[in-house]
Amino acid sequence: MTIYQLEQVFNEASYPHVTFVVPKEHPYILSAFKAKGKHITISGPSGTGKTTLVLKVQNDLGIPESDILWINGRQYSDYDSCFHMLGKELKCEPTYEELTPLLQLVKFIVIDDFHHLKASTRLELATNLKLWHEQSVRFVTIGIASSAKDLYGVDPELGIRNDPFEMK
């Protein structure tokens, strides 16, 4: 029998290895990560385990940290452009031509706290997702409930290139 320290079981600030409860969406999100090409949007209220679920799927699939570019939307809440956000993150010119080859070096670009980005930044990202999809660049956006609609509601063609999941 394994004996755990209290902080291993009850720690809201870290991944819950001991107490993680697999949500019903897990197999579908796991499948979305395995499918080639589609972007993934995970939305829901604060505290529903969106980020934790993405970390769990990453772990389940054995995706190394080096294959994922994690971006925290809170850090870029004052940026008006997704190109400037990505350029800052990747230390390159904020253009599609400069960014795309660098984004292709990882399997996924995860933008956590997507809802903290300005509407103009979210809109610009959404309008460019189809182009990045065609270049095998995959985004995973994680945010509050309205962020999925903000993302895939922009372009009707994006709907078939994005798998939205709503956590409850």
Amino acid 114: pLDDT: 92
Residues whose CB falls within 8 Å of the CB of residue 61, separated by 6 or more in sequence, listed in order? 30, 33, 34
Residue 33 in contact with residue 57, Cβ under 8 Å?
yes
Start-to-end Cα distance in the chain: 33
Q: What is the share, in percent, of the chain residues with pLDDT greater than 70? A: 86
Per-position b or e across 88-126, b if 16+ CB within 10 A of its CB: ebbeeebeeeebbebbeebbbbbbbbbbbbbeebbebbb
Q: Residue 7: pLDDT above 80?
A: no
Q: What confidence tens digit (pLDDT) does each residue in 18-64 have?
A: 777 778 888 999 999 999 888 999 998 888 889 999 999 999 999 99
Provide the token pair at 113.
Answer: 């706290």
pTM: 0.88
Q: What confidence tens digit (pLDDT) does each residue in 83-113 have?
A: 999 999 999 999 999 999 999 999 999 999 9
